[in-house]
Amino acid sequence: MDRTNIPGTSPYEPVIGFSRAVRIGRQVHVSGTGPVGADDQDVAAQADQCLTLIAAALKNAGSSMEHVYRTRMFLTRAEDWEAVGRVHGRFFSLVRPAATMVVVKELLDPRWRVEIEADALIPDAQS
């Protein structure tokens, strides 16, 4: 099967040894994406940054947010669920992917309150 690694801009990619996304066939798997560049902003701005970075990775892989079928959101504070959910809803109000939201103790950067990952399809040329 055809595999393509899609690099991003995270300073952690070369250190940890991961790709922002991996395209296998018509599927794109986007790694957990932290709010790099919005590290000190509120959780809504952080979620927006995560999803903006995911959108860029999907575009680089030949897909888009409208083709996302699964997201996973990791929060460090349970009370942030609604703010993050509203941002997620702005990006996916029509697509409505299967989504999971879980609370974790801590993320890689202690300033981060949210990290998001996504899976998407690359549209068929016939579609």
Instruction: From the options 3.30.1330.40, 3.30.2290.10, 3.90.1170.50, 3.30.1360.70, give the CATH code of 3-121.
Output: 3.30.1330.40
- How far is residue 104's CA from residue 81's CA, in Å, rounded to a whole number? 12
What pLDDT digit, counting tens, does each position of 66-81 carry? 999 999 999 999 999 9
Is residue 30 within 8 A of residue 53, CB to CB? The reply is: no
What global pTM score does this model have? 0.92
pLDDT of residue 126: 44
Beta-sheet strands, E only, within 3-113: 3-6, 21-24, 27-33, 68-75, 98-103
CB atoms < 10 A from the CB of 74, how many?
21
The model's confidence at residue 1, banded by pLDDT at 50, 70 and 90, is low
Name the residue with tokens 């952690």.
12
What gap in Å lies between CA 116 and CA 122, rounded to an integer?
Answer: 19
